[in-house]
């Protein structure tokens, strides 16, 4: 008799639109574990995360 494989439940990912997150600016700060990270929109429309 074969047993069914149990896969862990897929976790939901919280999704934020960049228009909501940036609210008209080109850079936001993210605090994580006591450090400040900067998320920037480049001139080409790409995202860059810097510590």
Residues 1-44 have pLDDT tens digits of 555 666 666 778 889 999 999 999 999 999 999 999 999 999 99
pLDDT score recorded for residue 6: 64
Number of domains in the chain: 1
Instruction: Tell me, yes or no, whether 44 lies in a domain.
Output: yes
pLDDT score recorded for residue 11: 77
User: What are the angstrom distances between the C-alpha of 51 and each of 20, 25, 28, 36?
Assistant: 22, 18, 12, 6
> Strand, helix or coil at 18?
helix
Instruction: Tell me, yes or no, whether 38 lies in a domain.
Output: yes
Instruction: Tell me, yes or no, whether 42 lies in a domain.
Output: yes
Q: What is the pTM of this model?
A: 0.71
Report the run of H or E that residue 35 belongs to, with start and end.
strand 35-41
CA distance linking residue 49 with residue 42, whole number of Å: 11
Residue 35's domain comprises: 26-50
């Amino acid at each position: 008799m074969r047993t069914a494989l149990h896969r862990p439940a897929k976790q939901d990912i919280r999704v934020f639109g960049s228009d909501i997150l940036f609210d008209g600016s080109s850079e936001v700060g993210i605090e994580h574990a006591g450090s400040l990270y900067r998320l920037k929109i480049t001139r080409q429309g790409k995202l860059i995360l810097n510590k």
